[in-house]
Amino acid sequence: MKKLFAILAVMGVLSFGMTQTVMAQDAAAPATEQVAATDDAAAPAVVEEGGMHKELKTKFIEGDAGFMSLVAIALVLGLAFCIERIIYLSLAEVDVKKLMAKLEAALEKGDVEGAKTICRNTRGPVASICYQGLMRIDEGLDVVERSVVSYGGVQAGYLEKGCSWITLFIAMAPSLGFLGTVIGMVMAFDDIQQAGDISPTVVAGGMKVALITTIFGLIVALILQVFYNYILSKIEAITSQMEDSSITLLDMIMKYNLKYKK
């Protein structure tokens, strides 16, 4: 949770900085237009960039501030959990082949304590699982296997921690957009009822709110889904490394027992 709060604080500072930048750009807009008028060669690029940015802000405001703010909050929180998971999983990745080679060399020499030290000095779930197995090396291969399997399940739970929140925000973003759509349609029918006419001008306001909230909700869900699939791929890769290293460790311990415990 501390890491999550830190990430949220950083994202809040970045959002504040972006807001100040936008305000500065808006304040400098007249000067930009004046420069664009005198410099015809640079005018298309400046106008296009400013127009795109202003259009995005305008559509966000037109989509009803209440619902668009909820969609934006879902995006920020979802990205916070995604970034936290990506950082955690990146730190959990190690060179498994190098680690297992060091453990094999230590066990061939009969240096169990040296192998434990290697595991303690290596970060990640693979080293933790190997350390748990080495802690019970004198209790028999069956005990070591059960310990490795049990602790592997615990480490897998750590890897998947927070993923349920990401799926929640992936589902919430389009749902909030659809809610805005329904409310926009209700607004449109209220305007029709008050005006007593079904002219396009009367219906346009509510329909615009409905469509914009749906679009932004779907965009947020797509962004979070890409991050979520990336996180799942990293979890699967680390889980596969854990399983392979567990089998390799059991083979090493069996060879150690045959060599030093006759």
Residue 41 lies in a domain: no
Q: Tell me which residues of the chain have a pLDDT lower than 50.
A: 1-49
Q: How many other C-beta atoms are found inside a 10 Å radius of the C-beta of residue 245? A: 24
- This model's pTM is above 0.85: no
Residue 183 lies in a domain: no
Q: How long is the chain?
A: 262
**Residue 64, pLDDT score:** 61
Cβ–Cβ < 8 Å for 207, 184? yes
Cβ–Cβ < 8 Å for 209, 190? no
Q: How far apart are CA 62 and CA 85, in angstroms?
A: 34
**Residue 13, pLDDT score:** 39
Residue 53 lies in a domain: no
- Contacts (Cβ under 8 Å, ≥6 apart) of 79: 11, 223, 224, 227
Residue 102 lies in a domain: yes
The DSSP secondary-structure symbol of 137 reads G
**Residue 209, pLDDT score:** 67
pLDDT in tens, 213-258: 888 889 899 999 999 999 999 999 999 999 999 999 999 988 888 8
**Residue 167, pLDDT score:** 93
H/E element, 140: none
Residue 251 lies in a domain: yes
Cα dihedral 188/190/191/197 (nearest 10): 100
Residue-number span of the structural domain to which 136 is assigned: 95-160+242-260
Residue 51 lies in a domain: no
Q: How far apart are CA 3 and CA 39, in angstroms?
A: 48
Residue 115 lies in a domain: yes
- Domains contained in the chain, number: 1
Q: How far apart are CA 187 and CA 125, in angstroms?
A: 54
Residue 58 lies in a domain: no
**Residue 19, pLDDT score:** 39
Letter for the amino acid at 63? G
Q: How far apart are CA 176 and CA 226, in angstroms?
A: 19
